[in-house]
Structure 1
Amino acid sequence: MDRIDVSPEMVALVGSGHAEPAGVAMLDHGFLLGFGSVGTAASMRLIRRPSVADLNVDSGNRLVLLARSDTCEKVAGGPIRLSFDTAYYLSAPLRSIALAIRDCTLHEAAARPYRLAKSIELLCEILRVANEIGFIPIGQDAVLSQADSERLLRARAMIEERWAEKLTLDMIARACGLNRAKLTRGYRDMFDCSVADAIAQERLGKAGEMLLATELPVSSIGYRCGYLNNTSFTRAFVRRFGVAPTQYRTHRLAA
């Protein structure tokens, strides 16, 4: 594999054959990217402290980014929202950057800085997508197709953006191109909560912020957060935070 020494904090390995990451013991995060082929999705896995065996599970065409964990968290602005050893779909834009590194045809003097810069861009984009959008896990049982997984991500984004509206399962399903059953089951499988729970989490999280940041009456905050009456808002708030909205505001502001 070709080796691109980006910096003391990052190395990229690209191509086919044996990967031998000599002298990179401090680079304890490995992003393993597969380019995919007909019938096989492009993929990515994050490995903690990758061994030589981890990097050579597949000897075919691939790209590996090795970086220090503290560097990754600094670029990401916090912990990386990826699970170790989980295979994720690699989106088309990220695959394009990876292919640009692999297939660079510039002469040697120009290819080195080009591939170096593209390697940095790829790492930054992976970390941005992980923390802002999220990657789609490749299901082991293949219950969800990549297309359906992307529709479920759109459903999550819709809930995060339109939480104050009167959202229903049918409305979300239609907007995202899913049937109601696939939305219900798929959302729970992918995000480990129901659609209703996700909406409630968004609404009550915003309500908690508004209780501390504004002087609006509790009833007004509840209404703005999608609750039609103060009783239903208070009941839901107590289930989420363990105290009523008024007590939450009083105790948190006095702390």
Structure 2
Amino acid sequence: MDEAGLQKDRVTVSPEMSAFVGAGVVDPAALPADGVILCFTLGKDAPAHVTVTTGVVPSGEQAVLVLAVERGACLRVFDYAPDADLACHLPSELRLIVAAIRDCVLPEPWCNTHRSAKCIELLSTTFQRIVEDDLVPLAGAGQLSARDSQRIVAAKRMIDERWGEKMTLDSISRACGLNRAKLTRGFRDMFACTVADALTDRRLGAARQLLIATDLPVSSIGYRCGYLNNASFTRAFSRQFGTTPSSLRAPRLAA
């Protein structure tokens, strides 16, 4: 049987919410009449994105995961329900949750429980990012071609996944097959920040987690996160978080 004849695996999260996982199609009869439909793709043939619609799964959408939630439940739980269709790039945080749902290998009944919990996390996080205007619309690529948009998304993914390595604008542009100027302009258009800002955010975010969760020396954490000396690490960290690395750690050590 070809993919068009397959039905996605259905996960009943609650009486008001279902998830449809994997290849194939969603049975329209399984969708709520007045529902919010979120379709997640992971970037096989296009940039990873989420499409939000009302009542139907968009035709031709190659989603690996579809969430269908009754509108009333969205309003009751979140005091929010999308009132217009939208399509946005999928940041790494959401891609990881989608992948965890799709790729779960636990046997039943643990698989269903795991997927249900992750679906609730995914819905909550996606709605939060939409409300806070923290997702980049697919149209944000401006005049970029679809291929160049994919390359810029790949550059962001490279930063998200390999932030601990030595990376420069030149090395990222070479790895993604774009010249510096196009990468710089496109990255700012799609993600509302520079390549350097995105890399700094990832490195300092990781440093903050290490300061909170480990007893590694401050200088070692700075070096792990790409800073060659403690002074430059402290300056960057203080600008980002309004406190020095040592001050952040001090309350935990005192306790």
When normalised by structure 1's length, the TM-score is 0.56
**AA aligned opposite 2:52:** L
Aligned equivalents of 1:209 and 1:23: distance in 2?
40
Instruction: Determine if the alignment matches structure 1 residue 68 to structure 2 residue 69.
Output: yes
Instruction: Determine if the alignment matches structure 1 residue 30 to structure 2 residue 37.
Output: yes
Contact 2:211 2:249 in 1 (8 A): yes
Aligned equivalents of 2:36 and 2:237: distance in 1?
40
Aligned to 2:112: none
For structure 2, the residue ranges without an aligned partner over 5 or more in a row are 1-6, 21-25, 41-48, 75-81, 90-114, 127-134
Shift of 1:176: 0.4
Shift of 1:44: 6.8
The 3-state SS of whatever aligns with 1:30 is strand
Contact 2:38 2:52 in 1 (8 A): yes
- List aligned pairs for 1:1-255, cutoff 5 A: 9-10=17-18, 12=26, 24-25=32-33, 28-31=35-38, 45-47=51-53, 50=54, 67-68=68-69, 85-87=85-87, 137-139=137-139, 142-252=142-252
Aligned to 1:101: none
Provide Cα deviations, 1:80-138, integer angstroms capped at 9, x if missing partner.
xx99632358xxxxxxxxxxxxxxxxxxxxxxxxxxxxxx9xxx8xx79x98xxx9843
Shift of 1:166: 2.3
Contact 1:45 1:87 in 2 (8 A): yes
Aligned to 1:107: none
Query: Number of residues paired by the alignment?
Result: 181
Classify 1:66/1:13 alpha carbon distance in 2 versus 1 (closer, same or farther; 3 Å): farther
Classify 1:22/1:164 alpha carbon distance in 2 versus 1 (closer, same or farther; 3 Å): closer
**AA aligned opposite 1:179:** N
Shift of 1:254: 5.1
Aligned equivalents of 2:159 and 2:60: distance in 1?
36
- Which of 182-191 and 61-70 deviates more? 61-70
Instruction: Give % identity.
Output: 48
Classify 1:235/1:190 alpha carbon distance in 2 versus 1 (closer, same or farther; 3 Å): same
Classify 1:141/1:175 alpha carbon distance in 2 versus 1 (closer, same or farther; 3 Å): closer
Aligned equivalents of 1:248 and 1:215: distance in 2?
13
The 3-state SS of whatever aligns with 1:139 is helix
Shift of 1:168: 0.8
Aligned to 2:93: none
Contact 2:140 2:189 in 1 (8 A): no
Classify 1:192/1:252 alpha carbon distance in 2 versus 1 (closer, same or farther; 3 Å): farther
**AA aligned opposite 2:69:** R
Classify 1:240/1:84 alpha carbon distance in 2 versus 1 (closer, same or farther; 3 Å): farther
Contact 2:203 2:226 in 1 (8 A): yes
Contact 1:136 1:150 in 2 (8 A): no
Considering only aligned residues, what root-mean-square deviation do their CA atoms show, in Å?
4.5
Aligned to 1:36: none
Aligned to 1:76: none
Shift of 1:24: 3.2
Higher Cα Rg: structure 1 or 2? 1
Aligned equivalents of 1:28 and 1:87: distance in 2?
17
Classify 1:229/1:46 alpha carbon distance in 2 versus 1 (closer, same or farther; 3 Å): same
Shift of 1:69: 6.2
Aligned equivalents of 2:180 and 2:200: distance in 1?
19
Contact 1:46 1:85 in 2 (8 A): yes
Aligned equivalents of 1:149 and 1:28: distance in 2?
30
Shift of 1:251: 2.6
**AA aligned opposite 1:154:** A
Contact 2:165 2:226 in 1 (8 A): yes
For structure 1, the residue ranges without an aligned partner over 5 or more in a row are 15-20, 34-42, 74-81, 90-119
Aligned equivalents of 1:235 and 1:31: distance in 2?
41
**AA aligned opposite 2:204:** L
Contact 1:29 1:67 in 2 (8 A): yes
